[in-house]
Structure 1
Amino acid sequence: MHHAVTIAVAALAALFICPAGAEVLIGVAGPMTGKLEWTGTQLKRGAEAAVADINATGGVLGQQLRLITVDDFCDPEQAVAAAQKLVADGVVFVVGHYCSGASIPASKVYEAARVVQISPSSTNPMLTEHGRATVFRVCSRDDAQGLEAGDFLADQWGDRKIAILHDNTTYGKGLADETRKQLNRRGVTEAIYQAYVPGKDDYSAEIVALQAADIAVLYVGGYHTEAALMVRAARDRGYPVQVISGDDTATEAFALIAGPAAEGTLFTFVPDPRRNPEAADVVERFRAENFEPDSWTLHSYGAAQTWAQAVEKAGSLEPKAVIASLHNNQFDTVLGRIDFDDKGDLTTQSWVWYVWRSGEYVPVE
C-alpha cells in the first residue's frame, strides 16, 4: 500500500516539476507535396535540424520544442487551412510559408491568433507591407530583386529583344512586374510581356512563339518547374535563348528537370548561406546525412534560430515580448547577422547573380 502511495506522490511531484505542456509547439508550413515538394522538404529539413539543435542545448527557456509540419500546396486557400490547423494545435511560432501566395493569406490567421510568423523565403513585398506585427522574413524582397534583374537586362541585353513571361502567381507576377518596371525605367521596353499557364508538362508552344518573334532573352517570373521545362524545350529546338529567372531557380530540382539544358541559365538568389562560416557545422551534418542544404534549407533553420534567440532575449514566450525582442535585437545565425526593420524585413537587402554550371549553381564571377 505504502509503495503505491509513494509512486502516486512521486508522479504528482513530477507533474509540478515538468508540467504537461512543458513542450513548446512550433510549426513549419510549405508545399510538402506536389510540384514544389522538393522545396517544402528543404523547409522541413531546415526547421527539423534547428529544433534538434535548439533542444540539444536546452530548448527555449528550459522547455523543449516540438515541430508540427503542415502542407499548404503553395495554394492560398490551403495555406489558410494549414495556418488554422497550426493555430488550433497551439503553436506559438511558424517557420513559413514558402510561397508568397501562401504566406500572405496565412499571415492574417497568425496575426489574429498572435502567432509569430517568420518566412524563410516569401519575397513578395506585400507580405510585410500589410503592417501585421506578427510577420517577419529572413530573405530579401522582390522590389530589390526586380531592381537587380531589370538593371542586368538593360545593361547586358538592352539592344536585343526581351520577353517577360510570368505564371500569374503572387510571387511570379510580382517579380516579373518589378523587373519590368526597372527595365522600363532604364528606357528599355520588352518585346513580349504575357502570362503562361503553370503546371503543364510541356512549354514548346510558348518557346516556338518566342523563337518566331526573334526573342534573345527570356525572363521567367515563376517557379523552377516551368522555367526548367522552358529551357529544355528551347534547347530541344536548338534555340539559344538566354533564360533568366528568380530565386526559386536555386534548387537542385531545376537541374534534375532541365537536364543538360540547365547549363548557362542565370538567376538571382540571396547570398548562398552554405558559404557562411557560421553555417559550416550545420552544412557538414546535412551532407553527412546525404542531404544537400541548398535553396532555402538554411533560411528555414535560420528563421527558427532567430525566433529562439528572440525568446531567450525576451525571457518570455508572450507574443508582444517576442515581437519587441525581434525588432530590438540582432541575432547571430547560420545566415549571418540578422536584424529587422519596423516592417519585419531585413535591414539589408541583398541579391546575387548565379549561373547553372555542370549541374550546380555558382555565383557569376
Structure 2
Amino acid sequence: MKRLAVSLGTATAIALALGAGSAWAQIKIGSAGPMTGQLAAFGEQLRRGAEMAVADINAAGGVNGQQLQLLVGDDACDPKQATAVANKMVSDKVVFVAGHFCSGSSIPASKIYKEGKILQITPASTNPKLTDDAAAEGNTTIFRTCGRDDVQGVTVGTYLLKHHKGKKVAILHDKSPYGKGVADETKKTINKGGMKEAMYEAYTDSDKDFTALINKMKLAKIDIIVLGGYHPAGGLIIKQAREQGLGAQMMGFDSLQTAEFAQIGGAATNGVLYSFPPAAENDPKNAALVQKFKDQKYNPEGYTLLSYAAIKVWAEAANKAKSTDAAAVAKTLRAGKYDSVIGPLEFDAKGDIKNPVYDIYVVKDGKSSTAPK
C-alpha cells in the first residue's frame, strides 16, 4: 500500500517525547502510527493523546512508582515501515505500544510485538482479523479501545436500510484491510436486509483524478456512495463528483473523522455522513482534559482521546498487576472494568471491547454533529 510519505526506507523515525518528570524515566512505552504522509493528521491524534496521557500519569506518580518515557514510531501506514517500527520498539525494550492506526500496519506489527513480549492496544485499527487471528494463534496480549469493522459495517448498513432503502448504492473501497473490511461488512448488512448494491468497485487511494469512476457512477445513476477508505481520496471523490454533476450522498466511516476531510473536499463535504464512536470530547466529564489540549492550541478530535484512553487503561492495569509484564497486564485487563475518558471499558477473550457503539455523524461547514436517527 503506497502512501505519499517522506521516505524513511527501512529505518524508523523514533522521536523521544518526554512527559512530566521523565528525565528520570524508567519504563519505556510507545505510540505508533502515520506521523508523516497523507494520513499524518491521524498520527498526530494518536501522538497527542499519548503525550498527554504520559504527562498525566507521570504527574500522578507514574506506573508502579516509576516514570514513563514515550517513544513515537512513524509507520506512514505502510506495512513494511510498521514492522520496522515494531522491531525498533523491541530493541528499545519498550513494554507497551499504543498503536498502530491502519489495520494493515497493526496486523504485521502485532506478530513482532508478540515475539517481543510487548502488549499492544490499538486505538484505531478496526479490522476483525487483528484480534481474530491473534486469538487463533494464541496471542493474548493484543487489545483495542475502538470497535471492529463488523460493528461499524452493521451500523452503517442499518442506517442505509432505514433511511435509503430502494436507492442505488455504489460501494467503493481502497483495497486496504481497513477500507475493504468496512465496505464488505456494510455490503453484508444491506444484502441481508434485502438491499442490493448497484456497484461494487475498488479504487487506488493515491489517485488524484477519479473522473472514470465518477462517470461510471453517473451512468449507473448512483444515489448513495459508500466509501470504504481514507479521507484524502474521499475528499477528492466527493469534490470531483459535485464538479462533474453527480449529486449522490456519500457515507463513510471513522477515517473521515478529521478536519482535513472538509479542507480537501470543501463545500462538497456538506451532508456527508460517517460512523464514529460517541464523541468523548463532548462529554462534560472530559471538559478539563479537553481544555488542556486546547491550551496547547490543539483540538482533540477523532482518535485523540481513544489514544489517551489506551495508555491510561494500560497504566491502571499495570498498577493493579504490580507489573509491566505483558502477560500479567493482559490478564488484569481482561479481568477488570475500567472507567476511561471514552466510557467504561471491558475486554473480551480476544481483546476486543465489549458492547462497542458507533454513532452516525453529518458534516456541515467543516464541523460534525450527530445525524438524525
In which range does the TM-score fall when normalised by the shorter chain? over 0.9
Letter in 2 for 1:34: G
Is 1:239 aligned to residue 246 of structure 2?
yes
Q: Are the aligned partners of 1:278 and 1:333 in contact in 2 as well (CA < 8 Å)?
A: no
* Cα distance in 2, alignment partners of residues 355 and 207 from structure 1: 22
Q: Confirm or deny: 8 A CA contact 1:340 1:346 kept in the other structure.
A: yes
Amino acid at match of 1:93: F
Q: Give the aligned partner of residue 168 of structure 2.
A: 161
User: Which of 285, 310, 314 is 1:307 aligned to?
Assistant: 314
What is the SS of the residue equivalent to 2:52? helix
Q: Does 1:75 align with 2:78?
A: yes
1:200 and 1:278 map into 2 onto residues whose CA distance is 42
In structure 2, C-alpha distance between the alignment counterparts of 1:271 and 1:202, rounded to whole Å: 33
Q: TM-score, normalised by structure 1?
A: 0.93
Counterparts of 1:281 and 1:111, CA distance in 2: 36
* Offset at residue 21 of structure 1 (A): 8.2
- Give the match for residue 25 of structure 1: 28
Of the structure 1 ranges 28-37 and 279-288, higher mean CA displacement relative to structure 2 is found in 279-288
1:256 aligned onto 2:259: no
* CA deviation after TM superposition for structure 1 residue 197, in Å: 0.9
Alignment map for 1:264-343 (pairs within 5 Å) = 264-343=271-350
2:52 aligned to 31, 46, 49, which one? 49
Q: What's 2:16 paired with?
A: none
User: Is 1:95 aligned to 2:102, yes or no?
Assistant: no
CA-to-aligned-CA distance 1:262-305 (integer Å, 9 cap, x gap): 10000111111112233221111111221111010110000000
Aligned match for 1:212, one of 208, 212, 219: 219
1:32 Cα deviation after fit:
0.7
Partner of 1:168, secondary structure, is coil
Consecutive aligned runs of 4 or more in structure 1 exceeding 3 Å deviation: none
Q: Provide the secondary structure at the position in 1 that maps to 2:207.
A: coil
Separation of aligned partners in 2, 1:271 and 1:329 = 22
Query: Which amino acid in the other structure matches residue 74 of structure 1?
Result: C
Greater C-alpha radius of gyration: 1
CA separation in 2, counterparts of 1:237 and 1:201? 15
In the alignment, structure 1 segments of 5+ residues that lack a partner are 1-19
C-alpha displacement of 1:331: 1.4
Aligned-pair distance for 1:202?
2.3
2 CA distance for matches of 1:363 and 1:98? Answer: 24
Match of 1:14 in 2: none
Q: Is the 8 A contact 2:347 2:354 kept in 1?
A: yes
Q: CA deviation at 1:22?
A: 5.6
Which residue number in structure 1 is paired with residue 363 of structure 2? 356
Cα RMSD, aligned residues only: 1.3
Do the aligned residues in 2 keep the contact of 1:278 with 1:335 (CA within 8 Å)?
no
Paired residues, number: 346
Tell me how far 1:154 sits from its aligned partner: 2.1
1:129 maps onto 2:129 in alignment:
no
* Richer in helix (by share): 1
TM-score (norm 2): 0.91
Could you tell me how far 1:239 is from its partner in structure 2? 2.1
CA distance in 2, matches of 1:152, 1:330: 30
The equivalences for 1:115-126 within 5 A come to 115-126=118-129
% same residue:
46
Give the unaligned 5+ runs of structure 2: 1-22
